């Protein structure tokens, strides 16, 4: 499909809900298709298949914030055990609050830190996520504030 679009100079993209709070724009390429399939698997409760696709994407591009966010969400929301929370924290390592995607990744890092019992670190992460509010959805900001209150 991507080759056909490229042949005719078409730049196709779609909005894909990565988390409840964040939507990412994906192209008609391998990354976009695998991300969409991983989200479909998540909605079907097929966590292992979703994780497999996301890990494949992460190996290809470990700096991809969308992939890191999707993996962190899967680790925290679906697994939620100590090892998964440690993975989510590691995925958000070195992330600054540059965009809505980065802020959402910081949110999942904070949730993982909270579940690991590192409350001060979780609070500090959420405070950093709240420093920039421009171009952030109200839903994401409310989720960050709620988690910080917890």
* d(C-alpha 83, C-alpha 147), whole Å: 21
pLDDT band at 87 (very low <50, low <70, confident <90, very high): very high
Give 35-70 pLDDT, tens digit per residue.
Answer: 989 989 988 989 899 999 999 999 999 999 999 999
pTM for the complete prediction? 0.85
Q: Please check the confidence at residue 81 and state whether its pLDDT lies above 90.
A: no
Query: Which of 42, 20, 43 shows the shortest CA–CA distance to 142?
Result: 20
pLDDT band at 7 (very low <50, low <70, confident <90, very high): confident
Length of the chain in residues, anyone? 150
Give 90-132 pLDDT, tens digit per residue.
Answer: 999 989 988 999 999 999 999 999 999 999 999 999 999 999 8
């Amino acid at each position: 499909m991507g080759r056909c679009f490229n042949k005719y100079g078409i730049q196709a993209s779609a909005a894909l809900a990565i988390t409840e709070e964040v939507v990412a724009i994906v192209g008609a390429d391998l990354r976009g298709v695998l991300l969409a399939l991983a989200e479909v698997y998540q909605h079907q409760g097929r966590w292992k298949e979703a994780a497999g696709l996301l890990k494949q994407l992460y190996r290809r591009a470990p700096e991809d914030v969308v992939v890191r966010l999707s993996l962190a969400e899967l680790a925290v929301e679906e697994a939620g055990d100590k090892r998964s929370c440690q993975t989510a924290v590691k995925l958000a390592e070195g992330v600054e609050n540059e965009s809505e995607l980065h802020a959402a990744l910081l949110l999942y890092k904070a949730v993982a830190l909270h579940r690991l019992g590192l409350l001060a670190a979780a609070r500090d992460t959420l405070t950093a996520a709240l420093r920039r509010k421009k171009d952030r959805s109200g839903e994401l900001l409310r989720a960050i504030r709620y988690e910080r209150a917890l």
